[in-house]
Chain A
């Protein structure tokens, strides 16, 4: 083992830490080789930014007099329906939640102009939202109706939680049908009119530690401008995917469940998005620090855009009907060139995740670590199917 997390944190505190982004180490390893790069660099920072539909925030409200029991009642925030199936003062708003009177896709394609994600963004932007609640009333919580304008600071707690985040490798989406389709991968034009991808490639957190040798439960990460933690494996996590020679999975695999204090986040890295014909959702910036504990970690953290390939999946029929197979594979470098070839046709590419913002996340995390403001944690348990590097050697 080259260094422990303890040693890394001691270097962060003494200001002697060497941090590079996952883009920067690609060149470094090319130039100096894995061995030397692994010796020089202590931590590699990754970054992604894109719509993560499986996002929500839960809030604990300050009680009014008389008190009200929200659980089992009905609560809206600016008209958007919140989940009130918890205790007296806890509510949850999902990024995809909508007001009752939103037409959804009844007016096709739906615009999804204002949903749960926009509530989260408004609160972070310093705006107040209108909470309206109806409850059934109890002896200890007699109040039956409550309405108030609340800002982020008015809640006892505001916590951003993602049951699924940072999908490891994602499909490139195309449309072979004769009509435009509106998907979670964006607008897909007919007859291979475009190919959309959702990844930051060589900066993507779970592609830079593909076998999850340093990322596990308890890993501290950068999320939305604040600190967050890996709480668990994300939903739909695939423990033992088929892999290529570099250890990269061949299809969408690992996912993370992340949790962090919403009050520490900011709108630079948390944005509401209205995906036409699909949903209101939350775009999030997430950065995972990768401690270079051995040379293998460095070799994988330095995988280049040319090394990372994605399956091309058809979204008008194959995806909705769950048909297996794909239309071939393309690399991130090809996707970033602006054109890929599918079935002999040149197809222009577009993104859902932002490489530019992913880079901003990785650089921000690098800055925080370099300035001694972000310490690493040692994951306490591996994610399903993975083995942590420090446990392998113990």
Chain B
């Protein structure tokens, strides 16, 4: 039973309660999805387009991440109906809150990912729907956003424009949560331009890590084990890990040097009771370990180490956000009080469930989409 709901509107006037790990999860998932698109889109725009497995496998992963990721803020807000309200009654329902940009552009980004992801499978979809009953074809077209009839990747007139739009939205998706936090000026640790930049780097590393992990898995589970993969994600992962780690150190150095008493109190937490999260899970596992494993070529050549580096980057992307979220909220700008967040059991289960939810969606996509056809040159799908 909820406390008397009639009063809820009055306590939702402000963020009266701390943001939870769900926001960190949301930020990590959406950021990783954006980074996946960056890799995918950049490969499409290069003069010589690489045609590894990422071309077909990457974007459905991004869509699954977006679906699961966007569930987090709905779970977190006190008024989930209010988020949806914005689609019916306009963005000004959100007042001056930055969320109105997120609810507009992020679903658009997810839709674009799905469209272009389907376009990347256009020959297989064409083959799969060929000769099917009209109703099945219509449903298939609806599901794949009519890529059989208009292929955005083949349309010379707007191919680059569409992918460029996608890249812009991807950058937005990566930066959005970081900017969101940066503009919460009451939290002094977040009030730094370093925050979205470090988030960006870690998301790129996480995106590369996710591709490094999930594309091989997808290939295997969809019967495409022999398909080649591009080397791009690992190079990107290495670069982003180095950048992320370096920017983090720079952030702390800069903040420690110029920051107010309150910022230094936050830094005390980074180096104190939250050092495991900040230095261990994020910096160590998320930045240093991938750098070591991928920068040393004998190590890089071992698949297991590449997977470990990939997993480290994904975990690090989440850990960074959780650490920044928790440490930031501990010390308000007023310097009054200190709040150290202890995640309640329900919140943790939501968090775990959210990743299960993501796995469910990506499995569904792999199940529905006709990956196998291409390899065999004929249209056989799971349908």
Binding partners A and B? no
Give A residues with C-beta under 8 Å from B.
Answer: none
Give B residues with C-beta under 8 Å from A.
Answer: none
